Structure 1
Amino acid sequence: MRLLIKRLDCLKNSLKCCLQQQGHPTYSTQKKLANELFSAQYCINLVEKNDYENYLCTLLLNGDQRRHAFALRAFNVEVANCGAKVSEEHINKLKLKFWYDSIDKCFTNETSYVADHPVLRELKYTVDSNKLSKIYLKRLVTARDRPSNQPFLTVKHLEEYAEQVFSSLFHLLVELNGIKDIQVDHAVSHLGKAQGIATLLRAIPYKGRTQALNVPQEILIKHGVSQERIVRDKAEDKGVEECIFEVASVAHQHLEKARSLIDKVPKSVRKVFLPSIAVERYLERLRKSNFRLTDQRCLQRDSMLPISLYWNNFRSRY
């Protein structure tokens, strides 16, 4: 854990060093560097607060790649939070449109629009520094443009959503390494599905009664379980247990497929796949709790995750 904190301190100090190395910079240069420092720190804090497990994984990346990864994850957090506290769907759509339009701005020379938001400033810096695919950024937005009360009808629909959101982000993180390989893309696709499905399961205990649950309708019908029973999550409810087990099994299958391709993934990019450790540990806690989503082992933070991440990173495994 201390090594993770040390990496974060290095990231915080990197931009400060730029200020010191300038000698006697002009006021405009000082202001620009101060804005860069603020934007980078803002993205780090945003990811730490809203996406702690991926925050830990990102700390283990190297140099500028780490800063770019925090920018991408901060953008993802902002998009994901669009509908978090909004009951009116039209307001959610307006927020999503803002972020969707912002992507195009980041790929142009227009700076006034982007400069107004710290995440966009960092995102533009990342876009300018790397050859990123705009389509993956746009998928992060368009995939989330769906009503909160719209359920997933089938497992395939659930997998497609997870791939569009989570795999797209992994594709972008891989592109930071300059890697373009079909086998790596294959592994990324499966890892994104695994993390996406696991994340959707973890969100169920926090869903409101007017929101659709993330268990596909075909699974609920197959086991004769209502959404209300999933919400109650009573102990010894075998029907609910079977539903959650079936969804968790799909996530586990994708995780195993991603890991089976490890020899096809260059060591230089395996750090990007470290979130698989968090997915595996959550699914294991879920299994030990008999697939009760509200069990404390599934709700509380994994205190051993930093050590597990560091050890697997040291071994170049995921």
Structure 2
Amino acid sequence: MRRLVGNWNCRLLFNDKSGQEIIRHAGVRQQTTSSSDAKEKKPVEADNNGYGAKHCMSLVEKYDHENYLCTLLLPRELRRAAFALRAFNVEVSRSVSGNKLEPQIAKLRLKFWHDSIDKCFEDESQRSYVEDQPVLRELKHTVGSRKLNKVYLRRLVTARERPPNQSFETIRELEEYAEQAFSSLLLLLLEVGGVRDLQVDHAASHLGKAQGIATMLRAIPLAGRQQAACVPLEVLVRHGVSQERILRSKSDDKGVEECIFEVASAANNHLQLARQLDDKVSNKVRKIFLTAVATDGYLERLRRANFLLTHQSCLGRDSLLPARLFWKSLFNRF
């Protein structure tokens, strides 16, 4: 059964007729031009047996399961590039995670990914280690077939340069971090889909902030004392709560409840602002914004648990998420 599921997942990236040939130029819109000025673009060669594409897909499935489900529901022509971008984001995030990771090692890892972005934008004739790294190979394929903004890719790396033990001073600072680490990825996915619209970018910015804040709240019980809680110091001071109390998160601690409520409310406000722009986005963009469903689900579970981060419903996976994602996708909602 596991093999059957794996084969079915791989078919989402491959042609229906052959499981050995990857869809080339996925997502590149066909353009009809006159024979006088039409120029053929050199195709980006796929790797042998599509190992890079399958590796990216498996990486996202293992470390970013909710976004893995969302990506499966994207149009076929966007899926391979989306998995490449999400796999790159997973690798960057993993570079700074670990119980006993030395800060200097984390910096070296981030520098590697930062320098690799420039390598992916180099000419095809220049050979480098990118060809030997499956995620970078897929990222280079995406860069070669799409028009991506290098700034957004760099922001995914520079956002993680923040020391894990450094607390956020204000809600605004927390939102700025979430925008760099999460909104940037959504903006890249919009570029993959060929979407260029200021209103849509505005919605992506709000949705990324909501997703980022919710994700950091979920990480508090899992990370423990390995990193500072994402609750800003201005919120802690306002309610007279220490970070130690946030980490303990007792059910009868009303001060902690108020702090988590304030941070979760900031995430929910950005989510609602993104959804208010629903009439400004196309059906393709709505599928890219399906991450809002998982974010909304977590915030609702947190609300029902009286903002107790360690409540069982807030720690595990949402068993109803696949059904809700499919339902929202079916009706082109987010």
> d(CA) in 1 for partners of 2:146 and 2:8?
22
User: 2:113 is matched with which residue: 89, 96, 99?
Assistant: 99
Question: Structure 1 218/20 Cα, relative in aligned 2: closer, same or farther at 3 Å?
Answer: closer
**1:274 is the counterpart of 2:275:** no
1:26 aligned residue: none
1:263 aligned residue: 279
> d(CA) in 2 for partners of 1:285 and 1:252?
12
Q: Deviations over 1:227-253 (max 9, x none)?
A: 110111111100000000000000000
**1:229 is the counterpart of 2:230:** no
The TM-score, its normalising length taken from structure 1, stands at: 0.92
Identity %: 60
The amino acid that maps onto 2:15 is S
Cα distance, 1:111 vs structure 2: 3.1
Q: Deviations over 1:23-51 (max 9, x none)?
A: xxxxxxxxx75535111111011000000
Cα distance, 1:210 vs structure 2: 4.8
The amino acid that maps onto 1:90 is Q
Question: Structure 1 215/16 Cα, relative in aligned 2: closer, same or farther at 3 Å?
Answer: farther
Cα distance, 1:267 vs structure 2: 1.5
Unaligned runs of 5+ in 2: 23-44
Q: Deviations over 1:101-153 (max 9, x none)?
A: 00000000233320121000000000001000000000000011011111111
**1:51 is the counterpart of 2:77:** no
Cα distance, 1:14 vs structure 2: 3.2
> d(CA) in 2 for partners of 1:5 and 1:289?
35
**1:189 is the counterpart of 2:205:** yes
Residue pair 1:7, 1:59 contacting (<8 A) in 2 also: no
> d(CA) in 1 for partners of 2:21 and 2:58?
23
**1:66 is the counterpart of 2:67:** no
Aligned partner of residue 15 in structure 2, secondary structure: helix
> d(CA) in 1 for partners of 2:146 and 2:205?
21
User: 1:308 is matched with which residue: 324, 327, 330?
Assistant: 324
User: 2:168 is matched with which residue: 152, 171, 175?
Assistant: 152
Cα distance, 1:20 vs structure 2: 6.5
Q: Deviations over 1:138-186 (max 9, x none)?
A: 0000011011111111000000000011000000000111111000000
Question: Structure 1 112/6 Cα, relative in aligned 2: closer, same or farther at 3 Å?
Answer: closer
Aligned residue-pair number: 305
> d(CA) in 2 for partners of 1:7 and 1:268?
23
User: Aligned Cα RMSD in Å?
Assistant: 1.9
> d(CA) in 2 for partners of 1:134 and 1:7?
33
**1:283 is the counterpart of 2:299:** yes
The TM-score, its normalising length taken from structure 2, stands at: 0.87
The amino acid that maps onto 2:265 is S
Moved more, 263-272 or 178-187: 263-272
1:11 aligned residue: 12
**1:38 is the counterpart of 2:44:** no
Residue pair 2:13, 2:80 contacting (<8 A) in 1 also: no
> d(CA) in 1 for partners of 2:173 and 2:163?
15
> d(CA) in 1 for partners of 2:55 and 2:157?
21
Residue pair 1:223, 1:239 contacting (<8 A) in 2 also: yes
The amino acid that maps onto 2:64 is D
Cα distance, 1:198 vs structure 2: 0.2
Aligned partner of residue 218 in structure 1, secondary structure: helix
Superposition map of 1:130-149 within 5 A: 130-149=146-165
**1:78 is the counterpart of 2:91:** yes
Aligned partner of residue 108 in structure 1, secondary structure: coil
Specify which structure has the higher proportion of helix.
Answer: 1
The amino acid that maps onto 1:311 is W
1:178 aligned residue: 194
